[in-house]
Amino acid sequence: MPYTLGPRQTFEALPTAEYTLTLKSWREITEQNDTQFSKKGDVRIEWNWVVTVPGGEDQDRRDWTNIPTTFSEKSTFVHICIALGIVDSVAAIEAGATIDPDQGIGKSCLGTIVKSLKSDGKTWGDKITAYAPLPATPAKPKADMAAKLRERLQLLLAFSGSSDAVSASLSAPDLKTALNNLGGQPISQRAIEHVREQIDNAKIMGINEFDDVNTDGLTLKDALLLHERITARIDA
């Protein structure tokens, strides 16, 4: 059976930096010979990573770790499991843990990759030297409800024809009450004019669906919402 081989692949070492690593796969390897870091018959884990390269194409990298007998913080295996979030380190330190690397597939962590000369002194290689969890996503600041209510109340006042300014000392509950009270009032003459002006603008744009709108009986809130609906239709 013939086999087709592609051209020789050139390896370009990554610059020393922190990268986002995503676990692509893993497998057990049984050592066939004694090495500097293991003995024949030892079982090690081969981790296959996808490295996200900023401004470049993703690259594949591998790392190999021994399986420790205890939850040792000196173990790279343990570091990887913690970085991927597949084990609770606090509980595991106290009681040990049963770890399934499959739970880490598709998950990401930070990896420090160091670029260095190989032993031949001519070619460059790189190696993952440390693992850490991805930084937590900063919590989005809560919306300033008082500011939003104050802005809405000021808009409704202006829409009604009032030149009053909203007091900066009003709390969110007070602003909500004031907004409900004002919004429940009958439509003012100035608000009617605002609505009619916007209906005329819609006609100019060829939008005739608001021609039969009757403003009688509308509240200020209803009128403002109608005005905003017409505006959105014009801007669409």
Better pLDDT: 227 or 140: 227
Rounded to the nearest integer, the mean pLDDT of the chain is 88
d(C-alpha 144, C-alpha 172), whole Å: 9
Pairing of strands 59-66, 108-117: unpaired
Lowest mean pLDDT among 3-7, 135-139, 208-212: 135-139
**Does the CA dihedral 141-145-150-152 come out positive or negative?**
positive
Would you say residue 89 has pLDDT above 90?
A: no
Give backbone dihedrals phi and psi of 101, rounded to 5 degrees, phi first: -60, -20
Q: 25: pLDDT confidence band, cut at 50, 70 and 90?
A: very high
What pLDDT is recorded for position 32? 83
Share of the chain above pLDDT 90, in %: 53
What pLDDT is recorded for position 19? 96
7-17 b/e (C-beta count within 10 Å ≥ 16 → b): eeeeeebbeee
What are 90-134's pLDDT values in tens digits?
A: 777 777 888 899 999 999 999 999 998 888 878 899 999 999 999
What pLDDT is recorded for position 52? 96
72-99 b/e (C-beta count within 10 Å ≥ 16 → b): eeebbbbbbbbbbebbebeebeeeeeeb
Share of the chain above pLDDT 70, in %: 95
Model confidence, pTM: 0.55
What pLDDT is recorded for position 139? 58
What pLDDT is recorded for position 226? 92
Q: 50: pLDDT confidence band, cut at 50, 70 and 90?
A: very high
Lowest mean pLDDT among 34-43, 49-58, 86-95, 138-147: 138-147
What pLDDT is recorded for position 111? 94
d(C-alpha 49, C-alpha 106), whole Å: 10
What pLDDT is recorded for position 121? 79
State the average pLDDT over residues 56-82. Answer: 92
What are 158-209's pLDDT values in tens digits?
A: 999 998 889 888 899 999 999 999 999 999 999 999 999 999 988 888 898 8
Residues 6+ apart with CB under 8 A from 139: none
Would you say residue 88 has pLDDT above 90?
A: no
Q: Are 219 and 186 in contact (CB under 8 A)?
A: yes
The closest alpha carbon to 53, from 14, 111, 103, belongs to 14
What pLDDT is recorded for position 163? 87
